[in-house]
Amino acid sequence: MKRQKGQANRMQNNKQIAVIGAGISGLSAAAYLANAGFQVDIYEKHASPGGRARQFSAAGYTFDMGPSWYWMPDVFERFFQDFGSRVSDWYRLRLLDPAFEMVFSEGETLHIPDDFSGLCRLFESREPGSAARLADFMRLAQFKYERAMADVVYKPGLHFTELLDPKLVSAVLRFQLFSSIRRQVRRNFRHPHLVALMEFPILFLGAMPASTPALYTLMNYAGLKLGTWYPEGGFGAVAKGIAGQAERNGARIFYNTEIRRIVTRGNRVTGIEAGGKVIPYDGVVAAGDYSNMEASLLPAEFRNYGKEYWQRKTFAPSCLLFYLGLRKTFPSLGHHTLFFEEDLDAHALDIYKTPVWPSKPLFYVCRTTASDKTVAPVGHDNLFLLMPVATGLSDSSLTREAYFELMANRIMRRLGEDIRPYIDYKRSYSITDFIEDYGAYRGNAYGLANTLLQTAIFKPKIRNRKLPNLVYSGQLTVPGPGVPPALISGKVAANILAGHFKTKIE
């Protein structure tokens, strides 16, 4: 058992590591380091684990604060397997069918089936001949996914020579790095609803389809072939499972503890400062937002990147979120519904080109109670509304409310009934909250946009260039945004730090 290996290592290794942040990447890094025998303490400014993936409870409802799409189940399984356990030891997964629904302007709703043959039939019904093209498209997307998982995403992104692996060199030619998702999708499909279906993950994961390399069609494979799952109890159950694994491996978690400074001497990190006290450590994983970890915790001479660097970067969007408790259930609303009555390009331009509050937004609604009755009182619904918006905008309560009305009207059109008279609980969350809670640069929600020049070796580096015992993890470094990448990022960062102490984590 790997756990026993960890215990054996721990006796040989008395190095102490501090992890700043109990988000998914920090918990993951801690789990690997503790398993390798390091003594690991995690410090988290909030009261529970998960970071952006944590939950809050109010008025009898339990809300996931961020993620709701459980994609890439293989990555979660691999994480737990690394410690001799399984996902099912920590939480139960349910496959959603339909996986999700898309509402279009003509009042048409597409129900995206879980099984691929159903999806092919759906494509064929909208555009004759498209099912065969979908099968080809998916074969290539699967190739990219499998190669990326095997040969790219677990690499630290420190040097371009990592990409010179002979297996990878031949694969890269099929990655379509210099084509865009837009070009590949539109070369294969013409029906606007099918195009929207194939392009939607990009808007939510952060870039214009035209500037996202076609490599990322791997997300179509992840989303449409590997299944859309629901972890019972919500993403909070996932965060608790990952935290539980880190603790089982020997890590300790200190909640409600904000780190104020990474302490250095010469060219080494010697500890951290919390609550006015300096606590000595041999190494640190900075697992909060990269830009903020550097700007607020490190002296300027030790930062990898200055203000100008972050200003030049293209960030993924922020969001306007509403957490709603309703004194009624609306069973005709599925678990995931994408309101796509407006043009994706127009919304994307309002995010990336001329950042303004969108004139015709797309948005997403999660009715968690469609799959899980434990997250609301009996006979009530639990809804989560998400509208992507540009970073750095002013988000007054007046603006938030105007968009709430817009979204509620469109939900009313879809349901034939207004949800507003049944509101029992309502909380909004947007740009200023991301800044307040995470120190998020300009209030970004998902880190950097997935453009070619912000992929792999072009991401902010996982290792501090001047302090060899300081590493970074999380959505702003390799491999990128999303819960599965955050899990991977923790492993990669742990590997680098362990390597510094001549220890291997696997």
Ligand X SMILES: Cc1cc2nc3c(=O)[nH]c(=O)nc-3n(C[C@H](O)[C@H](O)[C@H](O)COP(=O)(O)OP(=O)(O)OC[C@H]3O[C@@H](n4cnc5c(N)ncnc54)[C@H](O)[C@@H]3O)c2cc1C
Binding site residues, ligand X, CB under 6 A: 20-26, 43-46, 51-53, 66-69, 258-259, 287-288, 319, 321, 386, 438-439, 445-446, 474-475, 481-484, 486
Radius of gyration of the chain (CA): 22
Nearest distance, CB of residue 61 and ligand X, angstroms: 17
Asked whether the beta carbons of 154 and 74 are under 8 A apart, the reply is: no
Asked whether the beta carbons of 58 and 471 are under 8 A apart, the reply is: no
Nearest distance, CB of residue 171 and ligand X, angstroms: 24
Closer residue to ligand X, CB minimum distance, 37 or 317: 317
Closer residue to ligand X, CB minimum distance, 31 or 486: 486
CB atoms within 10 A of CB 142: 17
Nearest distance, CB of residue 228 and ligand X, angstroms: 10
* Alpha carbon distance 137, 134 (integer Å): 5
3-state secondary structure 162-203: HHHCHHHHHHHCCCCCCCEHHHHHHHHCCCHHHHHHHHHHHH
The residue to which tokens 């990669």 are assigned:
492
Closer residue to ligand X, CB minimum distance, 108 or 258: 258
Nearest distance, CB of residue 379 and ligand X, angstroms: 27
Nearest distance, CB of residue 44 and ligand X, angstroms: 5
Closer residue to ligand X, CB minimum distance, 44 or 341: 44
Closer residue to ligand X, CB minimum distance, 118 or 439: 439
Nearest distance, CB of residue 135 and ligand X, angstroms: 26
The tally of CA atoms less than 13 A away on the side-chain side of residue 222 is 23
The residue to which tokens 């020579």 are assigned:
161
Closer residue to ligand X, CB minimum distance, 131 or 239: 239
Task: Return contacts of 252-255, CB within 8 angstroms, 24+ apart.
Answer: 252/40, 252/41, 252/42, 253/22, 253/41, 253/42, 253/44, 253/49, 254/41, 254/42, 254/43, 254/44, 255/22, 255/44, 255/46, 255/47, 255/48, 255/49
Q: Is 71 helix (H, G, I), strand (E, B) or coil?
A: coil
The residue to which tokens 């996931």 are assigned:
64
111 contacts: CB under 8 Å, gap ≥ 6: 98, 101, 334
Closer residue to ligand X, CB minimum distance, 31 or 134: 31
Burial bucket for residue 396 (CB in 10 Å: 0-12, 13-18, 19+): exposed
Closer residue to ligand X, CB minimum distance, 229 or 330: 229
- Residue whose Cβ sits closest to ligand X: 23
H/E stretch holding 490 reads: helix 483-500
Closer residue to ligand X, CB minimum distance, 171 or 269: 269
Q: Is 151 helix (H, G, I), strand (E, B) or coil?
A: helix
